[in-house]
Amino acid sequence: PQGLLELSWNVSYPEQAVHFQILIRDLQFGLLFGMSDRGEFENADLAVLWSDGHNSYFGDAWSDTKGQLHMDSQQDYQLLGAQRAPEGLYLLFRRAFSTCDPKDYLIEDGTVHLIYGILEKPVHSLRAINISAIHRGLQRVQLLKPNITIPKLPSNRKTMEITAPDIVIPSNETTYWCYMAELPDGFPKHHIIMYEPVITTGNEALVHHMEVFQCADAFNSFPHYNGPCNSKMKPERLNYCRHVLAAWAMGAQAFYYPEEAGLAFGGQGSSRYLRLEIHYHNPLLFNGRRDSSGIRLYYTDTLRRYDAGIMELGLVYTPVMAIPPGEDTFVLTGYCTDKCTQLALPAAGIRIFASQLHTHLAGRKVVTVLSRDGREQQVVNADGHYSPHFQEIRMLKEMVAVFPGDELITTCTYNTEDRSRATVGGFGIREEMCVNYVHYYPQTQLELCKSAVDPGYLHRYFNLVNRFNDEEVCMCPQVSVPQQFSSIPWNTFNRDVLKSLYGFAPISMHCNRSSAVRFPVRIASQP
């Protein structure tokens, strides 16, 4: 957060390796840098630079379950150079994606939790470093960026900046800031072809992620607002600004649409109103820091061959999908079934080129796979170290073709070890979601292709729980599903039966047009 460390990296797919360069602006007695499952300093894989006050050392190390450091018997962080410059020390080193060393982190597609620690006193050995006593932190990035050719931008492109109006960042660790912007009156249809972040100089470490949403066309006007998104002063109508036009997170590059497609905005049936949302992460509680960050849209009135579309895959936002408390790994799956794609997709199919995975706070892993004729064909997008605090639209390494009759299966893994009540599906941050927003072309009428367990079968589950448990589960018609879940005693039997229900019971399929009218697909057995 103080800007003391700056990381750059290059990915070599032929070598299956990452080259890291760290600029240390105010080197004292060393640095720890590495990776771990979720950003912990225990069971971490580390490159360590340390000094005893006379000599400096560099080595590949790992930490055990207690956070004690050990030199790795297999040195896989390879130091390539160290160079002093007026701005600080540049440290260059290399690491293979996979090292076959059980103490090393496997670098995969998806989110990587990078950790760092700064040594402020000399240390005489690696084992003498007390990681609980050092200044340390965490940054999430997607290390393995897709190696795709960047499309050339047309000469008649225009730009538009949707930025915060010189606001003062609150001195809280976490702030979500909302700002309403407007397109010019009578703004005709254009295609967004690229976007990139605009970060106020000096705030690079505070701007965590940003999104631009378009508001619903059903309303003629939206109130102006510039303030925290969770404020009681925020107008209720802003909740109808949910259509994502652009999303950026720290470590992300500019986002390009394929040359043959663009995201339509403006014109008939498109709202003039946009909502910018910025997540500020300010752990040092800086006071009075001003910010005008946002997103720069590149767009053209020379429309491309295809309108790009965004489709929601996964689970319906409903309390019938729930996670018991105290679960280490609980899996829920949402289906976009063959019946839905058969009805809704064109014969030539669609091409998925980007994806944004989404859960709330209990989400740990998300994966979407494409299935054809009952066989898994390919992974659309997967994140085995997913974090709800790092959500970006990611360009895929290769486009995924989806044809009528294909299935798209989205599976989310949750952890509720810190919770004492069941977590139900819903819109609240303490409720859960399992979504993949896929970006594709050509745009179709299909905007939502999701499922949930058939509510009738969930009712049978509550009946069964009632029969086999001493404590009565309230099943009166007027009692809501969340209330019924909250009255369940979460013993092993009740947990296992719920898992089985979600695994085998028929599903209710939501196959929705952009008008929210459903295609005629209802209950289906699970694939």
Active site residues: 176, 358
Backbone torsion region of residue 193, taken as left when φ is above 0, otherwise alpha when ψ lies between -120 and 50, otherwise beta? alpha
Helix (H) or strand (E) holding 468: helix 455-468
Number of other CB atoms surrounding residue 127 within 10 Å:
12
Distance from C-alpha of 116 to C-alpha of 6, rounded to nearest angstrom: 11
- In sequence order, what DSSP letters do the residues of 330-351 get, joined into one string? EEEEEEE-HHHHHHHS-TT-EE
Pair 143, 18: CB distance under 8 Å: yes
- Buried/exposed code over 71-100 (b: 16+ C-beta within 10 A; e: otherwise): ebeeebbeeeeeeeeeebbbbebbbbbebe
407-414 β-sheet, strand order: 330-336, 407-414, 363-372, 375-383
Q: Which two three-digit tokens encode residue 248?
A: 């950026």
Question: Residues for the chain: how many in total?
Answer: 527
Q: Nearest to residue 404, comparing CAs of 354, 358, 340, 448?
A: 340
C-alpha separations of 326 from 474, 483, 495 in Å: 22, 18, 10
Distance from C-alpha of 379 to C-alpha of 50, rounded to nearest angstrom: 41
* DSSP state, residue 260: T
Which class for 288: exposed (0-12), middle (13-18), buried (19 or more C-beta within 10 A)? Answer: exposed
Pair 426, 344: CB distance under 8 Å: no
Backbone torsion region of residue 182, taken as left when φ is above 0, otherwise alpha when ψ lies between -120 and 50, otherwise beta? beta
User: Is the link from the previous residue into 184 a cis peptide, with omega within 30 of 0?
Assistant: no
Helix (H) or strand (E) holding 459: helix 455-468
* C-alpha dihedral sign at 499, 504, 510, 511: positive
* C-alpha dihedral sign at 79, 81, 86, 87: negative
